[in-house]
Amino acid sequence: MSTRIHAKAAEIVVDEFDISGVTNSVAIDINRPMANVTAYADTDATYIAGKPGFTIGVDGLWSKASPNYDAEMFADLTAENRLVGVYPNQMTAGERGYEAVSDISSSPRTASFNEVIALNVTWQGDTPLVRSWSMHRATAVGATANGVSFQVGALSATQKMSAVLRVFAAPGGAGNNTLDAIIASDSAEDFSGSPATQISFTQLTQSSVALSEAITVDGAESDTWWRVQFTYAGAGSRTFNVAISLGISDI
């Protein structure tokens, strides 16, 4: 039987904000217009494909605090290249989802006398939609460790690997700890081959705040196995609430 999932535990993130607590429906629409190229000699209508584009529609509940969904979406109105992530079956490591670089194109706040106030947002895609892996999700990273390896795949010369790091809150605990997160690749699942560092995120420190960082690397790359690796240093008990995703972009 094919995998079937309920959408009740979907996770929606925008940059470093987890908005799953105030949203209740998401739809991703990818459209590719077809040009009619039918000629007299053709028996049937004939088409060729144009350029694809996408939108992400997020239905939400208007919230003015904890989380301040309203203010964040209002602030995003003219901001470009926001990182929207949709994970239909939670964001735990190994789950599949979609990552998008997008802008708000519509955000009606709908208030009726007998209903909850809604804040629905339509995100217009800026770059190719990336079918991503959740590589690591942990609310309290506080040690040097390697994440689980996933066969994300090899890259052709025309592809890129797109990674997003999200830190959902300032680090907890006390001390001057740092956390370096990298994404490495190898030809073997257990990384017994010749592991290579592919992506290095900006070091997190005790001064870090909630943030997001997107990094892409160009193909070609023959390694198919990828994983997150953390290096934790310093004195203290700081912990970091992070999510890292990774996926192949065709352009």
Minimum distance from CB of 172 to another protein (Å)?
Answer: 29
Residue 168 DSSP label: -
Is residue 66 near another protein by the rule CB under 8 A? no
Is residue 5 near another protein by the rule CB under 8 A? yes
Residues 6+ away with beta carbon under 8 Å from 208: 167, 170, 171, 240
Euclidean distance between CA atoms 125 and 131, whole angstroms: 14
Specify the residue, 109 or 131, whose C-beta has the smaller distance to another protein: 131
Euclidean distance between CA atoms 230 and 77, whole angstroms: 34
Q: Which of 114, 93, 140 is nearest to 239 (CA)?
A: 140
Is residue 32 near another protein by the rule CB under 8 A? yes
Residue written as token pair 């790359």: 221
Minimum distance from CB of 230 to another protein (Å)?
Answer: 26
In this structure, the chain runs to a length of 251
Euclidean distance between CA atoms 44 and 194, whole angstroms: 53
Residue 56: count other Cβ atoms within 10 Å of its Cβ: 23
Is residue 135 near another protein by the rule CB under 8 A? no
Residue written as token pair 């208030």: 111
- Candidate list 13, 16, 43, 239; residue touching another protein; CB under 8 A: 43
Specify the residue, 48 or 235, whose C-beta has the smaller distance to another protein: 48
- Map residues 89-128 to x or -, x wherever contact with another protein holds by CB under 8 A: x-----xxxx-----------------------------x
- Map residues 45-64 to x or -, x wherever contact with another protein holds by CB under 8 A: xxxxxx-x------------
Is residue 25 near another protein by the rule CB under 8 A? yes
Binding footprint of another protein on the chain (CB under 8 A):
1-8, 10, 24-34, 37-38, 42-50, 52, 86, 88-89, 95-98, 128-129, 131, 250
